[in-house]
Structure 1
Amino acid sequence: MNTPTLVAGALWLVTVWRLPSLHHSHTQRSLALTFATLAAAMTFEVPTVRDAVDASTGVHGLSSLLKHLLGVVSAAFLLDFVIAVVRPHGLARRLRLVAIGVTLPLMSVFYALAIWMPGEGATIDEGRRAAYIVLYTAAFILYIGVAMIVATWLFLGGVRHSRTLPGKAGLGFLGLGTLLGSFYALQRVAFVIVRLATGTAHSELEIQISATLKQMAILSIALGACLPPLAGAVEHVRAWAALRRLRPLWRHLTAAVPHVVLTTSIPKRRVSFRLDRCVIEIVDASLALREFVSAEVHQRARVFATRKGLQGEEVEAVAEASWLRVAALGARTASQLEGVEHPSLGVTGSNQTSELAWLTAVAHAYTSSPVVAEFARQEESPAPLSTGHSERGLSHDN
């Protein structure tokens, strides 16, 4: 399988993947149309498709015209996309419409004049026909070059304003792709100038450099467009895994103090929101449960964990899980303690990542640590907690 076929196939896969976004925002629609037109353009570079189009129409080079026209349209959609992302208020919309509205007809007219004009040759240095070929190439390169330079300026300028690493990486790769597109346009101009000045063509070198720059630009643009969604998918999986680890702790604590559970339900597909809510309800449940134990229980749990050979942060996580379990057991059989100092929560909420890591450690200790279970038995109230009825009474499922 040749390189143009692989590139076209990859672009069509990205196009199919982005197809649902046609019904989303203007920004997403522009990006989807960028890949659709780019995939169609690169399809006309596949040898079998190119030969079939030229042979079936009887027009030599028609596949090249279609490829270039679609390339211009793709550049216009890409420029529209980056402006929507980086400059939401817009940028030279009328000028852009005029530019695309002039470039496409000019290219078509110059192509027609070069193809159907009487005469034999049609190289760059052969009279009037050659002049139309130069004008055709100039219209194409001028639009692509200017569009890519402006897009590069906007993409790379937007990197510093992006708030997330995937966003910065995505804009960076998109900017690199358009920068390579600019180099593609510049090297085409350079080869035309060399040919006009010296009368010597370097066709093979030009084709090789053009193909390399074009393919690298397309790859970089595709990668830049795919990074943020892929990063979002990774974050979705991470949130789901974290939610799964916190669920047992959430069940036990909210069963003891069910009034902290919010009544509004969240769709299961919104995993990040469910995780945030789970964390909030665990913290609220912990704040409610601390009223049932004294700070001395927390200190005894810390000493107990140390005696069992635990060290460092594991001691703190086990100690917190221990007093929470004691409090959950006592919440059904005892009243709140007054006039005593209550335990302070180990989680501060100042950093979402550290908060989640801390609660995960506490959840693991709460459900799996034999030290926590032993300490709870040691401190257990006369009537242990039965969670079945309370869990059935909860109004939602994180």
Structure 2
Amino acid sequence: MNTPTIVAGALWLVALWRLPSIRNSHKQRSLALTLAALAASMTFEVPEIKAVVNDAAGADIRLSPLLKHLLGVTSAAYLLDFVVAVVRPQGLARRTRLAAIGVTLPLMLAFYALANWLPRGPVRLGEGRGALFPVLYMAVFTLYIGIAMVVATWLFLGGVRHSRTFLGKAGLGLLGLGTLLGSLYALQRIAFVTAQLSTGTEYPELENLLSTTLKQAAILSIAFGVCLPPLSVAVEYVRAWGTLRRLRPLWEHLTEVAPYVVLSTSVPKRRVPFRLERCVIEIEDAYLALREYVSADVHERARTFAEQKAVADAEIDTVAEACWLRVAAHSARNGRQLNEVEHPRLGVTGRDRLSELTWLRAVSRAYLSSPVVAEFSRLEQSSACPSAGGSERVPSHGN
């Protein structure tokens, strides 16, 4: 299998993967059409496809290069539209961009029809009245691709610092690299044509090698760059699912004794990030409800107990919070709410999103499995109810 076939196949896989998103938004539509046009363009470089098209249209018409270039310009226009939607949602020279593509495509068709192409390659002066038209055709094509890629590179690389995730930054960086390589592709085409026109010197093998390498590298970089931001979303989805699984047991224990904090509206299971958000909110609401059943002294005793049990310094705060939560849950079952006392301060208060989730996971782990928490809870229950000195029975729930 040759390289053009591999590149075209990879592009079609990415294009078909992104095709269902064409209805979601203007940004997604532009991206899907970019990939579809790129894949179709590279298809006309596959030797078997090129032979079929040329045989059907006639060797003198050279239809496959025209279709490839028209689709290449179209994909560049949609890619520019996509990066503007991502990096500059307020818009950027929309009328100018529409005018540029509206002029480029008709000029390419006109110059292509008027040119007297020679079999050696697309940019040759030839003979007679049509001698200059191949050069004009390639000039229009190359200038549009070059300018579009330079602008896209500027926008993509400028947008890297605004991305919030590593994979998002990497994706924009690869897209910027791809458009930069596209700019170099256009630049080397201009350099070879200029050398041919000014000195008559030709380097067909070197020109073909550079053109093919830069073009394929640019296209693959863009294709990989397109895949990374959705992969970032998938990673966040999996991370949210893992966090939800870890917090779910704590949620079940706390909402069993404070069921009124649970919202009545159901959420589809596939909406994992939303379910995680709701789980966190209900856990924190249960915190607020349960703290009314214990005093701040319980929290202080829990910290002291954790220190005496040689709990690691990094875990003392979370273990202490899990301790008073276990005591509060037991008191809530017995209905002993405390009034006119100072209640524990919530350790989750004032944290950013990442720190909040990390804290809740640590509290959940201590609440469910720490022997220090279990022992403290038993001691507190014994001191509160000497006649009921048995250990607290914590209900078991599944995930």
Q: Give the TM-score taking structure 1 as reference length.
A: 0.90
Q: Which moved more, 1:74-83 or 1:332-341?
A: 332-341
| Contact 1:332 1:385 (C-alpha < 8 Å) held by counterparts | no
Q: 2:114 maps to which residue?
A: 113
Q: 1:47 maps to which residue?
A: 47
The Cα shift of 1:170 comes to 2.9
Q: Counterpart of 1:336 in 2: which secondary structure?
A: coil
- CA 1:91–1:344 in 2, change beyond 3 Å: closer, same or farther? closer
Q: 2:219 maps to which residue?
A: 218
What is the one-letter code of the residue matched to 1:325? R
Q: Which moved more, 1:306-315 or 1:353-362?
A: 306-315
- For residues 329 and 280 of structure 1, the distance between their equivalents in structure 2, rounded to whole angstroms, comes to 22
Q: Which moved more, 1:147-156 or 1:26-35?
A: 147-156
- For residues 322 and 93 of structure 1, the distance between their equivalents in structure 2, rounded to whole angstroms, comes to 60
- CA 1:25–1:204 in 2, change beyond 3 Å: closer, same or farther? same
Q: 1:247 maps to which residue?
A: 248
1:109-167 residue CA offsets vs partner (Å, 9 max, x unmatched): 322333589x9998624333442211111121121112112222332333344455444
Q: Percent identity?
A: 67
Q: Which moved more, 1:366-375 or 1:93-102?
A: 93-102
| Contact 2:37 2:74 (C-alpha < 8 Å) held by counterparts | yes
The Cα shift of 1:353 comes to 1.1
Q: Counterpart of 1:127 in 2: which secondary structure?
A: coil
Q: 1:358 maps to which residue?
A: 359
1:250-299 residue CA offsets vs partner (Å, 9 max, x unmatched): 11011111122223333322222221221122122112111212223223
Q: 1:124 maps to which residue?
A: 124
The Cα shift of 1:83 comes to 2.2
- For residues 134 and 216 of structure 2, the distance between their equivalents in structure 1, rounded to whole angstroms, comes to 24
Q: 2:75 maps to which residue?
A: 74
Q: 2:56 maps to which residue?
A: 56
Q: 1:296 maps to which residue?
A: 297
Structure 1, gaps ≥5 residues long? 392-397
Q: 1:395 maps to which residue?
A: none
The Cα shift of 1:227 comes to 1.8
Q: Which moved more, 1:235-244 or 1:309-318?
A: 309-318
Q: 1:25 maps to which residue?
A: 25
RMSD: 2.6
The Cα shift of 1:348 comes to 2.3
- For residues 319 and 288 of structure 1, the distance between their equivalents in structure 2, rounded to whole angstroms, comes to 18
The Cα shift of 1:31 comes to 0.7
- For residues 359 and 122 of structure 2, the distance between their equivalents in structure 1, rounded to whole angstroms, comes to 73
- For residues 160 and 316 of structure 1, the distance between their equivalents in structure 2, rounded to whole angstroms, comes to 35
Q: Which moved more, 1:73-82 or 1:155-164?
A: 155-164
Do residues 209 (structure 1) and 210 (structure 2) align? yes
Q: Counterpart of 1:331 in 2: which secondary structure?
A: helix
- CA 1:195–1:127 in 2, change beyond 3 Å: closer, same or farther? same
Q: 2:38 maps to which residue?
A: 38
- For residues 280 and 350 of structure 2, the distance between their equivalents in structure 1, rounded to whole angstroms, comes to 10
- For residues 160 and 395 of structure 2, the distance between their equivalents in structure 1, rounded to whole angstroms, comes to 51
| Contact 1:75 1:148 (C-alpha < 8 Å) held by counterparts | yes
- For residues 18 and 36 of structure 1, the distance between their equivalents in structure 2, rounded to whole angstroms, comes to 9
- For residues 154 and 214 of structure 1, the distance between their equivalents in structure 2, rounded to whole angstroms, comes to 20
- For residues 266 and 50 of structure 2, the distance between their equivalents in structure 1, rounded to whole angstroms, comes to 55
- For residues 234 and 106 of structure 1, the distance between their equivalents in structure 2, rounded to whole angstroms, comes to 45
Do residues 90 (structure 1) and 86 (structure 2) align? no
- CA 1:96–1:31 in 2, change beyond 3 Å: closer, same or farther? same
- CA 1:311–1:162 in 2, change beyond 3 Å: closer, same or farther? closer
What is the one-letter code of the residue matched to 2:41? A
Alignment of 1:214-293 (within 5 A): 214-293=215-294
- For residues 312 and 297 of structure 2, the distance between their equivalents in structure 1, rounded to whole angstroms, comes to 20
- For residues 71 and 340 of structure 2, the distance between their equivalents in structure 1, rounded to whole angstroms, comes to 77
Q: How many residues align?
A: 390
What is the one-letter code of the residue matched to 2:38? L
| Contact 1:122 1:130 (C-alpha < 8 Å) held by counterparts | no
Structure 2, gaps ≥5 residues long? none
What is the one-letter code of the residue matched to 1:170? G
| Contact 2:123 2:135 (C-alpha < 8 Å) held by counterparts | no
The Cα shift of 1:203 comes to 0.8
Q: 1:187 maps to which residue?
A: 188
The Cα shift of 1:21 comes to 1.1
- For residues 379 and 277 of structure 1, the distance between their equivalents in structure 2, rounded to whole angstroms, comes to 31
Alignment of 1:126-165 (within 5 A): 126-128=126-128, 129-165=130-166
Q: Which moved more, 1:294-303 or 1:276-285?
A: 294-303
Q: 2:315 maps to which residue?
A: 314
Q: Counterpart of 1:359 in 2: which secondary structure?
A: helix
Q: 1:7 maps to which residue?
A: 7
| Contact 1:329 1:385 (C-alpha < 8 Å) held by counterparts | no
- CA 1:91–1:226 in 2, change beyond 3 Å: closer, same or farther? same
- For residues 69 and 341 of structure 1, the distance between their equivalents in structure 2, rounded to whole angstroms, comes to 74
- For residues 192 and 164 of structure 1, the distance between their equivalents in structure 2, rounded to whole angstroms, comes to 42
| Contact 2:149 2:183 (C-alpha < 8 Å) held by counterparts | yes
| Contact 2:125 2:135 (C-alpha < 8 Å) held by counterparts | no
